[in-house]
Structure formats: C-alpha cells, structure tokens
Amino acid sequence: MRIDTTLVEKDLLISGERASSAEAAGLDRVWCTETGVDVFLQAYEIARETEQIEIGTAIAVALARNPMTVAYTAWNIADISDGRFTLGLGSQVRAHIERRFSMPWTRPARQMREFVLALRAIWEAWRTGERLAFEGEHYSHTLMNDFWAPKPHEHRIPIHLAAVGPKMVETAAEVADGIILHSFTNKEYLERVTFPAIERGLARSGRTMDDLEISIPLFMIMGDTTEEIESIRRQVAMQLAFYGSTPSYLPVLEAVGMAQLQPELAALSKSGDTARALEVVPSALIDHFAIQGRPEDMPALATRHLGRRVTRTSSYFGWPSVDPDRLQAIAAEFRAEG
C-alpha cells in the first residue's frame, strides 16, 4: 500500500513547504484539495517546489469546469512536474454545482464518463496532431489548430475519479485509471456497495482490479499521548457529523445500522449547533470510520481496516509533528504491508 498526504492549507506558499517536507519523509504522493485555493495553482506550486514526489488533485471539481480548460491545465502541470501529475476529478454534489458554481446539474455519472473521454480525445489530438472530433451528449470539442495547441510532451496523465454512490463508482471503474473513494466510508459499505460496483465497471471495460488504483483518505487517530489522540478523535467526530448530515451519504450510515443519525445531523448542521452534533456522534460510529493508535501502528491498522484491494491511503488530518526519519520508517512499513 502506498502512503500519501493530503493538503488542506489555504496558503499556496505553505503548501509548497508541506509538500517538500512530505517528499523528504519519503511519502509517495501529495494530494491537493479545493479548500479555499485553486487546486491547480496548488499543484503547480508543489511541482515547482519538489523533485520526486507524485502530485495529484483530490479533487478538482469537474462539473464547475469543462474538459478543454481542464485539459490545458493538467497538460501544463504534467509538463512542469516531468510527468508526476495525476488528475483527480469529482462531480461534487448538486447544491454546490448549482448554487456555488452556477453550473448545470443533469446526470452526473454520465457527464463524468464523458468528461474523461473528452479529456483523452483532446490530449490525443495534441500528441498526434490529428483532427479533434469529440462529440458527446454533454460536451463537444471539434476545433483545434497548432496556434492553440500547447507545447508537446509525452507524459501520460492518469485520470482518477472520486466516487461514493454505486453509479459513479461503476463509471470510475469503467473509464478511469483510478478511483478516489471518500473518507466517509466503512468496511461494511465497501463490501456491500463499493467493491461490487467496481467489479461491474471493470467488467464493462474488460479490465481487472490490477488495472485500477484505489485510494482512500483514512481518518487516522494517532498520537503518542492520550491528549493527542483525544484531540484528533474530536476532530474526526466533527468531520463525521458534517459528512453524516449530507443526504446523499445516507447509504453509508445505513451500512452500519446508523441511518437514524442523518436527519438529526442535518438539522444540527443547518442550525450550526456544533456542540450538540458532537454529542450525537457515538463512539461506535467513529470506530467504523477511523483507526486509532500510535503513528507506528497505522500501517497494520490501515491494512486491516481497508483490506488489500485498496492500493493507497493518506491520513485525513495529516501526520503529527514527528521526526522525518520516524515518518520515513512508517512510510516504508506501509509499502511492506501492500
């Protein structure tokens, strides 16, 4: 299993510093997020500040953009990073697409499938110089000439899709190079919903699990003291309360027999009663979604929690301030667990 890190910094310069530290510690990939910064600017900054670590977006909101604009940006980041870039895309949820981005929401799984195919058609036209002729239900790209084409390179750009529901999981398994599964998941939901959907998608494309990278950011409650662990456990409870309030994530709660929490968490989210939301989240729910122990315990616990079909993970809240040599040894243990 590969071990990555996910950045949630809202300062681009700090992102570069954190990525450099992750590279020095021997982590495998830095995932950039759209939490108050442009995810592609963050990836660009990291590409300039690092030399070896892989870089990915987890995620760029696809339905707030279009395939051509994303194709240009991803192409340029792949170039400046010397092929270290993975494009992670997600649909987001309807409220954000319509109310935050003022973009249309139609059939997201079908739209995301077409988005991936359009990207590959655009990149192929740039590589080969052949006529761009992509026409689909949602996107049409039929105009390109040398003046508008970017500087050529031969770097392949893997596309990963974020997915929660079975339709999007199937779509990702069918057309993408990897799947970024939501941290708001559990073993029961993975076995009942996620992996069967992955198998159906792979079957449609004639591929196997060996052809697909599966990544899950995991809630790792870790520390060397009781105080450190309790602090992270509280953060996890708050995040679970936030995710659990989302109606589209109700099936994830149903998988562990806690669907009754969703309406109450939704009401508390609207009222802003964070203290009450923390009281509503039971300890048993946290244990379904998180692992807990010392940093050195994380490789074995993560493998036990996620299983061996998951190929890479990251700590949702990052790593505690530990010695770089210590973190490097932990990263090596993650790879050994795989």
Cβ-contact 162, 180 below 8 angstroms:
yes
Residues 139 and 263 both lie in one domain:
no
Residues 200 and 250 both lie in one domain:
no
Q: Could you give the CA distance from residue 35 to residue 7 in angstroms, rounded to a whole number?
A: 9
Residues 47 and 182 both lie in one domain:
yes
Residues 300 and 273 both lie in one domain:
no
Cβ-contact 209, 180 below 8 angstroms:
no
Residues 269 and 234 both lie in one domain:
yes
169: three-class secondary structure by DSSP: helix
> Would you say the C-alpha torsion 73, 78, 81, 82 has a positive or negative sign?
negative
Q: Structural domain tally of the chain?
A: 2
Q: Per the structure block, which two tokens stand in for 207?
A: 């591929």
Q: Could you give the CA distance from residue 215 to residue 217 in angstroms, rounded to a whole number?
A: 7
User: What 8-state DSSP symbol labels residue 25?
Assistant: T
Residues 129 and 148 both lie in one domain:
yes
Print pLDDT tens along the chain (338 aa): 999 999 888 888 899 999 999 999 999 999 999 988 999 999 999 999 999 999 999 999 999 999 999 999 999 999 999 999 999 999 998 989 999 999 999 999 999 999 999 999 999 999 999 999 999 999 999 999 999 999 999 999 999 999 999 999 999 999 999 999 999 999 999 999 999 999 999 999 999 999 999 999 999 999 999 999 999 999 999 999 999 998 889 999 999 999 999 999 999 888 888 888 888 899 999 999 999 999 999 999 999 999 999 999 999 988 877 788 899 999 999 999 76
pLDDT tens-digit profile of 21-33? 999 999 999 999 9
pTM: 0.93
Residues 144 and 104 both lie in one domain:
yes
Residues 315 and 169 both lie in one domain:
yes
Residues 19 and 155 both lie in one domain:
yes
Residues 210 and 233 both lie in one domain:
no
CATH number for the domain that contains residue 125: 3.20.20.30
Residues 310 and 288 both lie in one domain:
no
Question: Domain range for residue 257?
Answer: 225-293
Residues 183 and 120 both lie in one domain:
yes
Return all residues near 96 (Cβ < 8 A) that are at least 6 apart. Answer: 61, 64
CA distances from 255 to 4, 187, 190, 248, 260 (A): 27, 9, 9, 13, 12
